Chain A
Amino acid sequence: MDKDKVLDLAKLSRIEIGEDEAEKLSHEFETIIRYVGEVKEVEKNNKEEVDKEDFPVRNVMREDAEPHESGIYTEKILSEAPSREGQFIKVKKIL
């Protein structure tokens, strides 16, 4: 892990960071990644099949019905937007 790799990851994360921070993070990540890499050992030591019954995965669905009255939350939610125009959130031109 080097500074450039960290800068690339920061770019993927949409976070602006400076060169100094990237340098520092690259060393911290080395240590952290070495530590969390230990996780690979667990499988070697524990080959036992996991009993799937113990982990019920449930998909919870609801009817696409009974909507709330239109517009009752609009003002509350829009008032939190940093920039708006009428009933819309305003952003910069994309194309």
Chain B
Amino acid sequence: MKPEEIREKDKDIHAFLEVFDEPKTYGEGPLSGKTIAIKDNFLFEGHKASAGSKILENFTAPYDSTVVKKLKEAGATIVGRTNMDEFAMGSSTENSAYGVTRNPHDLERVPGGSSGGSAAALAAGLCDMSLGSDTGGSIRQPAAFCGVVGLKPTYGRVSRNGLIALASSLDQIGPFTKTVTDAEILYNVIKGEDPLDSTTINDETYPVQKKFDKTIGVPREFVEKEGVSEEVRKNLDEAIEKFESLGYNVVDIKLETLAYALAAYYIIMPAEASSNLARFDGVKYGLHKDGENSIDDYFKTRGEGFGRETRRRVILGTYVLSSGYYDAYYGQALDAKRAITEELRRAFRSVDLILTPTTPTPAFKFGEKSSPLEMYLADIFTVHANISGCPAISIPSGKVGNLPLGIELTADLGREDNLFTAGKDFMGE
């Protein structure tokens, strides 16, 4: 598809912030002939990268992120950068400084977020594959809302060198694709150890705990919470039946700590964001607003450059890290993180996968979530994977009317292979 054609088809959706005029192909490999869209927080040398923020409106990447380098070597053609919630803070792409992205299945509804542009671009057929980043569900939730496959690999599997950071102990890069087979292909291209990201892992980092024998655990008690729509519950039951008909053994499991994952997440994420975003000061790059003196420059630049949700999270992060509250919030959240990870890893000694819905409801309408907390609850089924580092995938599992739904499979640390096996079985690939 020519750039003009992508732009024309994207008019009503606004998945792209920029469609490149002359997309180039660099190498040759497993992605030859494939067009790929990247989220606006990936550095691609010579191109803008604004992370959906005014504060980086005119920032041009001075180098390639490791992932972009790998895409080039694998023969991919990068066609453009996609819209996102500012600094990946959001679950609807309504927080972008450059306007909203619309869900290709229903233009009155959100595509999910924060990687809403990447999910919508793929769902609308504007690219063959796309990339996003996932800090609390930002790949899986929009994948579910847009009816595509979305994978968050194990923490450390993909290098974040050159990714504009949100919360560094949770961030991970992953693919959006039409099929699980494609997700595996793109995953294999982008994964790997990188001296420029010291958190990257290798195949020996997590020794295998259990041999795959098609056992799936469903944390019933957790899934049947209030706020989970009837359609979503029904869809999950259908997915369970389908897995059983495919020879899977589906069992109920109890995961008591899961209920605390979202609370821990909304402490750790703003805390780390407040620290990561300290670099945007109007001095080194990006927006600069002039004040009366040097410190006033910071106040003005950050006050005007950051959007409402970003200001909210940075200030909240400052609170939970401040003296007198640190132990009560951040310290407790880290304890919860350990407890959740331990319980999940224990569960993975008896089951290969944990199955939940990806989202509590199908895609919601613009402006429907009136308070920040209501919006935060959209991440209820996805944050555990970031808190524990475990890999998780969202797979299309049917529709309510014209709105797609997704189911989510989570695997033990390092066991993306189980996600691909079960995902392909489910999709009939």
- Chain A interface residues toward B at CB < 8 A: 6, 9-10, 12-17, 21, 25, 28-29, 31-33, 35-43, 45-46, 48, 50-51, 54-56, 58, 60, 62, 73, 76-77, 80-83, 89, 91-94
Q: Which chain A residues lie closer than 8 Å to B62 at the CB level?
A: 73, 76-77, 80
Could you write out 9 A-B pairs with CB less than 8 Å apart?
A15-B299, A15-B302, A15-B303, A35-B373, A36-B320, A42-B260, A91-B297, A92-B297, A93-B294
A89 touches B283 (CB 8 A): yes
Of B195, B274, B338, chain A has the most CB atoms within 10 Å of the CB of B338
B187 near A: Cβ within 8 Å? no
A13 to B302, CA, bound (A): 9
A56 touches B328 (CB 8 A): no
A8 to B339, CA, bound (A): 33
Min Cβ gap B283→A in Å is 6
Q: Which B267-311 residues have a C-beta within 8 angstroms of A?
A: 267, 274, 278, 281-288, 293-295, 297-300, 302-304, 306, 308, 311
Q: Which chain B residues lie closer than 8 Å to A33 at the CB level?
A: 319
Of A29, A46, A55, chain B has the most CB atoms within 10 Å of the CB of A46
B274 touches A50 (CB 8 A): no
A9 to B317, CA, bound (A): 9
- Chain B interface residues toward A at CB < 8 A: 59-60, 62-63, 195, 198, 205, 256-257, 260, 263-264, 266-267, 274, 278, 281-288, 293-295, 297-300, 302-304, 306, 308, 311-312, 314-320, 322, 328-329, 332-333, 335-336, 338-343, 345, 371-373, 376
A35 touches B263 (CB 8 A): yes
With A28-B312, A94-B294 as given contacts, are A89 and B335 in contact (CB-CB < 8 Å)? no
Q: A14-B281, A42-B336 are in contact. List 19 more A-B contacts (CB 8 A).
A: A9-B322, A15-B311, A16-B303, A28-B371, A29-B319, A31-B373, A33-B319, A36-B329, A42-B257, A43-B336, A48-B342, A51-B342, A54-B345, A80-B62, A80-B285, A91-B297, A92-B293, A92-B294, A92-B297
B300 touches A39 (CB 8 A): no
A25 to B371, CA, bound (A): 11
A69 to B173, CA, bound (A): 31
Min Cβ gap A49→B in Å is 9
Of A32, A38, A93, chain B has the most CB atoms within 10 Å of the CB of A32
Min Cβ gap B261→A in Å is 9
A35 touches B266 (CB 8 A): yes
B283 touches A32 (CB 8 A): no
Q: Which residue of B lies closest to A83 (CB)?
A: B288
Q: Which chain B residues lie closer than 8 Å to A36 at the CB level?
A: 263-264, 266-267, 320, 329, 333
Q: Which residue of B lies closest to A62 (CB)?
A: B195
A29 to B278, CA, bound (A): 21
A89 to B286, CA, bound (A): 13
A70 to B372, CA, bound (A): 47
A17 to B303, CA, bound (A): 6
B260 touches A80 (CB 8 A): no
Q: Which chain B residues lie closer than 8 Å to A29 at the CB level?
A: 316, 319
B371 touches A60 (CB 8 A): no
A21 to B312, CA, bound (A): 10
Min Cβ gap B414→A in Å is 12
B298 touches A14 (CB 8 A): yes
A82 touches B315 (CB 8 A): no
A13 touches B274 (CB 8 A): yes
Q: Which chain B residues lie closer than 8 Å to A93 at the CB level?
A: 294
Q: Which chain B residues lie closer than 8 Å to A16 at the CB level?
A: 299-300, 302-304
A16 to B328, CA, bound (A): 27
Checking A13, A40, A48, A54 against B314 with a beta-carbon cut-off of 8 angstroms, the contacting residue is: A13
With A15-B306, A36-B329 as given contacts, are A45 and B256 in contact (CB-CB < 8 Å)? yes
B332 touches A40 (CB 8 A): yes
B263 touches A38 (CB 8 A): yes
A17 to B300, CA, bound (A): 9
With A31-B373, A36-B263 as given contacts, are A12 and B335 in contact (CB-CB < 8 Å)? no
